[in-house]
Structure 1
Amino acid sequence: MTFTQDFTAVGDNLALSAIVAVIPILYFFWALAIKRMKGHMAGITTLLLALLLSVTAFNIPIGMSIMSASQGIVYGLLPIGWIIVTSVLLYKLTVKSGQFSIIRNFILSITEDRRLQALLVAFSFGAFLEGAAGFGAPVAISAALLAGLGFNPLYAAGICLLANTAPVAFGAIGIPITAVEGPTGIPAFEISKMVGRQLPFISVFIPFYLVIIMAGFKRVWEVLPAILVSGISFALTQYLSSNFLGPELPDILSALVSLFALVILLKFWKPKTIFRFKGEIETAASAEIKKAPDPTYSPGQIFHAWSPFLVLTAFISLWGIPVIKNALTGHYEGTNFILKGINGLGERLTFLPEVPLLNNKIINDTGEAVAAIFKLEVLGAAGTAILFSCIVTKYIARLSWKDVYATAKETLHELKFPILTISSVVGFAYVTNASGMSTTLGMTLAKTGALFPFFSPVLGWLGVFITGSDTSANLMFGNLQKVTSLSVGMDPVLAIAANSSGGVTGKMISPQSIAVACAAVGLAGKESELLRFTLKHSVFLLLIVCLITFLQHNVLSWMIP
């Protein structure tokens, strides 16, 4: 038995169908932002509501709907949940060994100003991790670092989600852009060029915006040189690399240039006043006389303390190299002896079973059967790269296996509810995709006609909110963007790029991202507070991308490659 997706299932009307399709999304916002449910309860009830509507309104057989949810739940565990567990474990190991206290003092030696620490860790270092690993690792690790430096955990999570806007489109060695070439037929390099002519406007603005949120508009001018150096160096490198090298390296290069440029600036320039959060200022003022001098560390001690994160960078970069990635997943076809050996192990640790009742049983809008597999790439998963980093860290930090085991047990205990949240919301995303609910919403937005160039990024924003991934949003709506843009006289390269650029602004409110960020800083159950923090910023930045796209279509068409 097969199921053909019907995008006008409710009353044979697209608008009515879209109203029903948006109900689970509105419910999720209500559950978190208004009702303030715990994340796992909001996720589970949203999944149950989506299952009910997919069967009763969109007529997908109940078995198919349940199996699509199971496919999403499994994906929520591997690779996403696996990344979160190993990322938090790595951070906890550095804390347990005492290495993190050295890292903390090293960053404080560069600057004690909280605004500049956010630029260094959340913006630059987070972007580097996004470029190398993607998924949840950048937010998890950078948020944990900021919380360890003394940031309010909720603030640390929110700032890192916001900072992560700039690099998402080129994340994980450019996968969001390279992936969309397949379904659209438009070269990834052309899409990379166009995204590189949109996102730098956001990238140069994000450091400025971060400081406004943290300290207010008046305190921006005190660190304006740092903001300009951080933002302009990142944006300029992002433009040059995306337009002349391709989609693989913009994040890594932009992050490194921005990080080093800011560190060099801080060697010669310091803000006149050191900004700390209100409670910290009061504490510092009352304890100033009693305060002991900060310990000084040798370059060797500093390098040793940072080495777990250097090892992490090496592993996730290695895992991202295409030829090695192929070997780790059992798809290597070369003759190199070492890679052939890894390929054999990767093949044995890669499991791709079909999803029962679902594989090739759903017919999509193009009349094609949709493959459905449980993609279990154990060795090739980014979380496994982080696990290897944890093992190496065990020896670097001279921890016993007993310490590692106790820390791992503690980590799993703390993350049980966040992992449940992530699995349920990914299950929800898969149900909406399988039933056709997400495509119904996309087709409704595509009916905006002459205003479509303005609303085109909203499709990407919606896709990332639902799936938690710019890659998935591009695969979901990329071809719809192409077809619709041609019908309204819009350049398809601009429309597909707008899908990716709009998607980055939805990352900070995606249920997956919210759950990951809360898990990283020990705020499981506080997802509603984090969503309330990020929602307005997401909508504001989305409107900027919408305006940029509209102007590039109507006034600045010379910017389209």
Structure 2
Amino acid sequence: MFQQIYDPVNGSLFASALCAMLPLLSMFVMLGWLKISPHVSAAISLLICAVVAGFIYGMPWATVANVGVYGAVFSVLTVLWIIVNAIWLYNLTVRSGHFAVLRDSFALISDDPRIQAILIAFSFGALIEALAGAGTPVAIAGAMLVAIGLHPLKAAVIALVADTAPVAFGALAVPITTLAQVTGLSFEELGHHVGRQTPVVAAFVPLALVWIMDGKRGLRQTWPAAVVAGVAFGAAQWISASHFSVVLADVVGALASAAGVMVLLKFWKPTKLPADAFQNDVTKQAEHIAIGHSRKQLMLAYAPYLLIIAIFTVVQFGLVQKWLGVGTFKFAWPGLAISTQEGKSIGTMFTLNSLSAAGSLLLLAGVISAMMLKVSARAAVETYGKTLVQMRWAVPTVLCVMALAFIMNYSGQTATLGRWLAGTGSAFAFLSPVIGWIGVAVTGSDNSANALFGALQVAAAHETGLSPALLAAANASGGVLGKMISPQSLAVGAAAVGIIGQEGLIFRKVIGWSLFFLLMMATLVYLQSTPVLSWML
């Protein structure tokens, strides 16, 4: 059995943390500054991670390789299967011509592309995140933004930044469920705390979106809609998580956000943009939308996305989960026996949930959508093949990144970083969200980051005298802000808008927003640990 050591460099936690940072720093530097392609950056960072695990942390080379394969295989169902099927479903709507109808319907709500971006990326994206998660909203919202005329790079950035506040309650609050399991704290208590953190950031996200899209002019002309969307979402998420339902917090928030904007537009209109405002045909299209779209055409255009919502809702029922569970197989990953520094065995169970996996449910939605949209079986298969070609560089990126994440986790590198940050005393309340941010930046999943660091946050709380529920919730809330810089998310965003290979450029566009919102969240959590804002909890 391999036993982790968290301070392998001469017993120094600080020196060990510097070594543990190398894989992450190398990836961020290559993506953000050296402009190396993402799959190459991920492969080199994976090699660096393996070297650190083998030479510094003493993990046997055969175990390093085995853990890397474990991570890569794990990513197939949890990431790639979802991404491919989500983009395939979108491509089906494009091929059938119904996506153009959907685009027109958003223009009917408002002919201002900035308002459309808020509704698509923030409100509609939050609804998809609430039910599916795992990169699905980035893929769908990004593609939809391109369809209404946005530049692909701008569409990817907006979709990534928008997919922040909903993530902690994504997939019907699975990250909160996981956090409760690993910490032993109450699910409701954790949900209440997260529901008093992420809504504050949510209120500002739509303002960031219009700034990204149109700078100062966009902020000046559309701030009422941005404020209504953000505040309505945040307030509804807060109320639902605190008094109604933690599981439905994102659903309620998304619907409240869209409804708030639509009501506002009955009484207020943004300043009319010049026809060439964005050097695309968005506003021109809006002037002569095919009003002749029938009710049936509009329903068909929305059908695939309504179908996603319906399917992911139905599978939450216990009886359906029991049926789908027939296709679930669990087994210990062969050849792995790992324990913590304290001697506690680390689980290496692999779950093959072939029927209930989010990707499988998206595949089902795609098959039914193809029939509803009258796309022939041959055309659907051809579209699937083209989708795989479209994803050809995103696949190795995700495989390498997940292999890296698993090697960091199982060798002890990630725990080293967490424990080093936890040694800051009462100031740890400020750094607590940073740990969640690191976890999601590496794994691409708030659920995984909670599983990884949830117990550490509680242990640090006991050592520092801080609230365990506050710090555990901060892990989830801070983690959502690392989603936009995660290599998996970058790969999804680039693939969805058709700019594969430009993930580094997307990273440079979103890293500033990620750090800005992280600073906001860290400050909020710190103040919540003091009498200044403790009343919020």
Into which bin does the TM-score normalised by the smaller protein fall? over 0.9
Partners of 2:350 and 2:288 in 1: CA distance: 55
In the alignment, which residue of structure 2 is the partner of 1:306? 302
Shift of 1:278: 4.3
Query: What letter is aligned with 1:29?
Result: F
Shift of 1:531: 0.5
Answering whether residue 164 of structure 2 is matched by residue 165 of structure 1, we say yes
Shift of 1:259: 1.2
In the alignment, which residue of structure 2 is the partner of 1:381? 357
Question: SS of the residue aligned with 1:7?
Answer: coil
Shift of 1:350: 2.4
Answering whether residue 333 of structure 2 is matched by residue 372 of structure 1, we say no
In the alignment, which residue of structure 1 is the partner of 2:73? 74
Please give the residue correspondences for 1:437-476 in structure 2 after superposition, counting only pairs within 5 Å. 437-476=413-452
Please give the residue correspondences for 1:132-147 in structure 2 after superposition, counting only pairs within 5 Å. 132-147=131-146
Measured against aligned partners, the alpha-carbon deviations of 1:136-187 in whole angstroms (never above 9, x if no partner) come to 1111111111111111111111111101111011111101111111221110
In the alignment, which residue of structure 1 is the partner of 2:214? 215
TM-score after normalising by structure 2: 0.96
Answering whether residue 342 of structure 2 is matched by residue 354 of structure 1, we say no
Please give the residue correspondences for 1:543-554 in structure 2 after superposition, counting only pairs within 5 Å. 543-554=519-530
Measured against aligned partners, the alpha-carbon deviations of 1:501-543 in whole angstroms (never above 9, x if no partner) come to 1111111101111111111111111110111011111011000
Query: What letter is aligned with 1:80?
Result: V
In the alignment, which residue of structure 1 is the partner of 2:25? 26
Measured against aligned partners, the alpha-carbon deviations of 1:84-108 in whole angstroms (never above 9, x if no partner) come to 1111110010010111111111111
Aligned length: 536
Shift of 1:293: 6.1
Shift of 1:389: 1.0
Contact 1:33-1:532 at 8 Å conserved across structures: yes
Instruction: Give every structure 1 segment of 4 or more consecutive aligned residues whose post-TM-superposition deviation is greater than 6 Å.
Output: none
Answering whether residue 8 of structure 2 is matched by residue 3 of structure 1, we say no
Question: Structure 2: which 5+ runs fail to align?
Answer: none
Contact 1:113-1:276 at 8 Å conserved across structures: no
Partners of 1:8 and 1:538 in 2: CA distance: 29
Query: What letter is aligned with 1:535?
Result: I
Measured against aligned partners, the alpha-carbon deviations of 1:25-84 in whole angstroms (never above 9, x if no partner) come to 010011111111111111111111111110111001111111111111012111210111
Partners of 1:269 and 1:298 in 2: CA distance: 27
Partners of 1:417 and 1:4 in 2: CA distance: 35
Please give the residue correspondences for 1:393-408 in structure 2 after superposition, counting only pairs within 5 Å. 393-408=369-384
Partners of 1:369 and 1:311 in 2: CA distance: 42
Contact 2:50-2:64 at 8 Å conserved across structures: yes
Partners of 1:263 and 1:284 in 2: CA distance: 19
Partners of 2:40 and 2:464 in 1: CA distance: 42
Partners of 2:141 and 2:27 in 1: CA distance: 26
User: Structure 1 residues 276, 311: closer, same or farther in 2, change over 3 A?
Assistant: farther
User: Structure 1 residues 536, 296: closer, same or farther in 2, change over 3 A?
Assistant: same
Partners of 1:246 and 1:192 in 2: CA distance: 9
Measured against aligned partners, the alpha-carbon deviations of 1:291-339 in whole angstroms (never above 9, x if no partner) come to 86645312222112211211122112223445533431x2xxxxxxxxx
Cα RMSD, aligned residues only: 1.8
User: Structure 1 residues 301, 193: closer, same or farther in 2, change over 3 A?
Assistant: same
Shift of 1:386: 0.9
Shift of 1:279: 4.5
Query: What letter is aligned with 1:49?
Result: I
Identity %: 37
Partners of 1:312 and 1:106 in 2: CA distance: 19
User: Structure 1 residues 372, 297: closer, same or farther in 2, change over 3 A?
Assistant: same
In the alignment, which residue of structure 2 is the partner of 1:55? 54
Query: What letter is aligned with 1:309?
Result: Y
User: Structure 1 residues 202, 430: closer, same or farther in 2, change over 3 A?
Assistant: same
Answering whether residue 532 of structure 2 is matched by residue 556 of structure 1, we say yes
Shift of 1:268: 3.8
User: Structure 1 residues 237, 23: closer, same or farther in 2, change over 3 A?
Assistant: same
User: Structure 1 residues 447, 383: closer, same or farther in 2, change over 3 A?
Assistant: same
Question: SS of the residue aligned with 1:22?
Answer: helix
Partners of 1:159 and 1:321 in 2: CA distance: 33
Question: Structure 1: which 5+ runs fail to align?
Answer: 331-346
Shift of 1:239: 0.5
